[in-house]
């Protein structure tokens, strides 16, 4: 059974993923915060990804890495820089030094958030980040490309929509990514024998999707869920939002300077480091 490191394992996405993959892999769960949910047989290793010594320690002896760790929303540059730029570099470089060839990098829909909602985009579009957070995800994609071409590593970038069992608003009808579809795509990223450098969209098969996800389907992805079953109820309750935000795929990220951090650190660890 392969050993998979999941950084940012205490966050919502990491918790969903650990639950879904528990029977498939030996999971090494890492975060700066305590795990919200402990799963039998999974090892927790505390680490701060902004410290290279920590990333060297946690990446040793694993078969693949799912790098979820980072600042998960738009926020102050200091926090984005420390967790998402320095932290991403540290994880990739530590993996290279420890001989870990395959990394799954959950990038974000916010790497392309300034495309309009009336556009359908694929994995080949030029990045149009909607935030400093989005910029950090574009950085991670570029770094993954470098490590694939320069060092022969295998990099699987997933532009994640919104991981949840149920969409919470109109925008998320287009970007819903259910936990079981997340687990399927991550499994492809771990197991597919022909990965070198790929960008795919981490979304379910939503009728209202803004994405041509044919690159994921080419690799065998067959999502099971569609947000449309929730559409009537959500649209009935939806209230008008910010007019600028409503034009773009990134939603409020295109206008917000800072969004409350859904996963704040303990006070002793603030202000700038957090793992999603």
The answer to whether residues 212 and 93 touch, using CB atoms and an 8 Å cutoff, is no
Q: Is 197 strand, coil or helix?
A: strand
Cis peptide before 271 (omega within 30 of 0): yes
The verdict on whether 25 is a catalytic residue reads: no
DSSP 63: S
Q: Which residues of 131-170 are buried (b: 16+ CB within 10 A; e: fewer)?
A: bbbbbbbbbbbebbeebbeeeebbbbbbbbbbbbeebeeb
- Distance separating alpha carbons of residues 81 and 272, to the nearest angstrom: 9
Return the structure tokens found at 86: 């320095």
The answer to whether residues 14 and 31 touch, using CB atoms and an 8 Å cutoff, is yes
Beta partners for 156?
104, 198
- Distance separating alpha carbons of residues 198 and 165, to the nearest angstrom: 26
Residues with Cβ within 8 Å of 127's Cβ and at least 6 positions away in sequence, in order, are 111, 112, 134, 138, 141
Q: Is 3 strand, coil or helix?
A: strand
- 115, 133, 211, 248: the active-site residue: 133
Q: Which of 198, 173, 82, 174 is nearest to 132 (CA)?
A: 82
- Give the residue numbers marked as catalytic: 133
């Amino acid at each position: 059974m392969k050993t998979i490191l999941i950084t940012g394992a205490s966050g919502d996405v990491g918790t969903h993923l650990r639950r879904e993959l528990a029977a498939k892999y030996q999971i090494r769960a890492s975060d700066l915060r305590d795990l919200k949910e402990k799963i039998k047989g999974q090892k927790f290793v505390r680490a701060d990804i902004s410290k290279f010594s920590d990333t060297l320690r946690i990446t040793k002896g694993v078969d693949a890495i799912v790098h979820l760790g980072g600042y998960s929303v738009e926020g102050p540059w200091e926090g984005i820089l420390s967790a998402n730029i320095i932290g991403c570099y540290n994880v990739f470089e530590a993996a290279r030094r420890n001989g870990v060839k395959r990394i799954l990098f959950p990038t974000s829909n916010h790497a392309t958030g300034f495309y309009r909602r009336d556009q359908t985009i694929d994995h080949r579009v030029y990045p149009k980040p909607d935030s400093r957070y989005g910029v950090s995800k574009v950085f991670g994609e570029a770094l993954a490309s470098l490590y694939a071409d320069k060092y022969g590593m295998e990099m699987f970038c997933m532009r994640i929509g919104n991981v949840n069992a149920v969409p919470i608003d109109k925008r998320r009808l287009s970007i819903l990514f259910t936990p079981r579809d997340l687990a399927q795509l991550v499994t492809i990223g771990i197991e597919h024998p022909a990965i070198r450098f790929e960008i795919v969209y981490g979304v379910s098969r939503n009728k209202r999707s803004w994405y041509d996800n044919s690159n994921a389907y080419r690799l065998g992805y067959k999502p099971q869920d569609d947000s449309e079953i929730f559409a009537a109820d959500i649209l009935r309750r939806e209230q008008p939002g910010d007019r600028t935000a409503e034009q773009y795929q990134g939603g409020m990220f295109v206008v917000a300077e800072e969004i409350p951090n859904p996963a704040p650190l303990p006070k002793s660890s603030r202000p700038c480091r957090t793992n999603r």
